[in-house]
Amino acid sequence: MTGLQARLRADLLTARKARDTTATAVLRSTLAAVANAEALPVAESALTADGPIAGAAIGLGATEAPRRELTDDDVRAIVSAEQSERLAAATDLEAHGAGEKAEQLRAEAELLAVYL
């Protein structure tokens, strides 16, 4: 786990304790994006058509998968992408007359800017 990832997790715990629903939601979704980036694709050889369940993984440790090791720069790029998505969505929402939701997304983007 990188230093930035540990900071995100610690801040998530603080936000949860403070019952800050906005920060909690933003940090959870960002950490989920980081976890998705750590995942490696499943090899086709790990899946089999034999057995009682088609496509089930068979064998000791067959469901265990290695994770990619991300650097702080990788995590920072993910945070930046999450921030960019929120800003783009805010612009679209504002163009369609949903100013309140757009402001909420901009506030979420500002929260992520702290980690960049």
SS (H, E, C) 70-101: CCHHHHHHHHHHHHHHHHHHHHHHHHCCCHHH
Q: How many domains does the chain have?
A: 1
CATH number for the domain harbouring residue 34: 1.10.1510
- Of 83, 86, 85, 84, the C-alpha closest to 112 is 83
- Whether the full predicted model's pTM is greater than 0.85, yes or no, is no
pLDDT in tens for each of the 116 residues of the chain?
A: 889 999 999 999 999 999 999 999 999 999 999 999 998 876 655 555 566 666 666 666 666 777 889 999 999 999 999 999 999 999 999 999 999 999 999 999 999 999 99
- Of 82, 112, 87, the C-alpha closest to 11 is 112
**What residue numbers bound the domain in which 25 lies?**
3-39+47-113
Residues 6 or more apart whose CB falls under 8 angstroms from that of 92 comprise none
Distance CA 55, CA 58 (A): 9
